[in-house]
Amino acid sequence: MSFEEFINMNGYGFYIWTSYAITAITFIGLVVMFKIQRNQLIKQLRKRYQQQARKKET
């Protein structure tokens, strides 16, 4: 089996490689989305903690 046959995958290469690309893009998007949400949550929790700490001081 040559590299060209591997890429072509008996005529289905376009569909197979397109599905791999869509899957990879989706997973990358999910990772980015979760990191953004995590950072937002951490900011919210820090803000809430600081507000509670100020209330305890007064």
Phi-psi region of 10 (alpha: psi -120 to 50; beta: other; left: phi over 0): left
CA-CA distance, 8 to 2, in Å (whole number)?
A: 10
Q: Is 8 exposed, middle or buried (0-12, 13-18, 19+ CB in 10 A)?
A: middle
What pLDDT, in 10s, does the model give residues 3-50?
999 999 999 999 999 999 999 999 999 999 999 999 999 999 999 999
Per-residue confidence band for 2, with pLDDT thresholds at 50, 70 and 90: very high
Quote the pLDDT of residue 1. 84
